[in-house]
A = this chain, B = another copy of it.
Amino acid sequence: MDCQPSACGAVTPVENGCLVCKVRLVSVCASLSVDELQMLESLAHETVFPAKETLFTQGQPAHSVYNITAGVVRLYKLLPDGRRQIVGFALPGDFLGLAMRDSFGFSADAIDTVTACAFSRSAYSALVEEKPHLLRRLHQFATHELTLAQEQMMLLGRRTAEEKLICFLLAMQERWAKLRKSSVTVPLPMSRQDIADFLGLTIETVSRTFTKLTKDKTILIVPDGVRLMNLDHMVRVSA
């Protein structure tokens, strides 16, 4: 099985064309015409990462960029003493490598089974050079990420534990809603520790807050997720 130097998942040619790709319309690829899509398809390596496998590590040379097509990826930074901050969760349709820089600014690993379209950065870079509307789309994605990051700064700096968790659950619900039909049941494939490291809390505080929200009847904990039982209240808190 072929392996990129920087990305060792199971690599296969793109099984079904980009045209039938489930996430095309929400991904950067939506900016491409049918012709251009075929060009892209020839550059793509569909890659499967089993749960817990690393896609890439902070500081590592960025040989590839990735378009997530299924599964959830955690993106994080580490301090030398082991403290971890998760800077985001990448969902299907998200693009990793927006900066197109020589090395990655954060680490990424698969939370559940992840499939991604991997592209060699140099080839992708060359394509972007030729297609300004692809660059425009990348820029839209980057500024969207920047907006999310600024909202996360507000959350990390100025919100209480309960507010943090409520905002997180609402945000996840909205993100999943864009990918499939909306639902008050929010999948949470990541661990409590992941949630804690995203919200700037400890695992114990996250667990206690989940318990409190459950007693409040604000949420209902279900296998691999939660059901939001009082959206009004949650929206009011997230304000």
Q: Is A80 an interface residue (CB 8 A)?
A: yes
Q: Is A146 an interface residue (CB 8 A)?
A: yes
Q: Is A124 an interface residue (CB 8 A)?
A: no
* Chain B residue with the shortest CB-CB distance to A87: B150
Contact, CB under 8 Å: B143 / A101: yes
Nearest chain B CB to A114 CB, angstrom units:
20
If A147-B105, A150-B149, A199-B157 touch, whether A80 touches B135 (CB-CB below 8 Å) is no
Bound-state CA distance A80–B154 (Å) is 12
Contact, CB under 8 Å: B105 / A154: no
Bound-state CA distance A147–B146 (Å) is 9
If A138-B139, A139-B142 touch, whether A99 touches B147 (CB-CB below 8 Å) is yes
The residue from B87, B132, B147, B157 contacting A200, defined by CB atoms under 8 A apart: B157
Nearest chain B CB to A190 CB, angstrom units:
15
Bound-state CA distance A156–B159 (Å) is 11
* Chain B residue with the shortest CB-CB distance to A99: B143
Nearest chain B CB to A160 CB, angstrom units:
10
If A105-B147, A139-B142 touch, whether A79 touches B239 (CB-CB below 8 Å) is yes
Contact, CB under 8 Å: B154 / A152: no
Q: Is A158 an interface residue (CB 8 A)?
A: yes
Contact, CB under 8 Å: A153 / B146: no
Q: Is A180 an interface residue (CB 8 A)?
A: no
The residue from B87, B100, B143, B239 contacting A154, defined by CB atoms under 8 A apart: B87
* Chain B residue with the shortest CB-CB distance to A98: B143
Contact, CB under 8 Å: A99 / B150: no
For window 115-148 of A, CB contacts with B under 8 Å fall at 132, 135-136, 138-139, 142-147
Chain B residues, Cβ within 8 Å of A136? 135
30 contacts between A and B (CB under 8 A): A77-B151, A79-B154, A79-B158, A83-B158, A83-B159, A84-B158, A85-B154, A87-B150, A87-B154, A99-B144, A99-B147, A100-B143, A105-B147, A105-B150, A106-B150, A132-B132, A135-B135, A139-B142, A142-B142, A142-B143, A142-B146, A149-B149, A149-B152, A149-B153, A152-B153, A153-B153, A156-B156, A157-B199, A157-B200, A158-B197
5 nearest A-B residue pairs (beta carbon): A157-B200, A149-B149, A99-B143, A156-B156, A85-B154
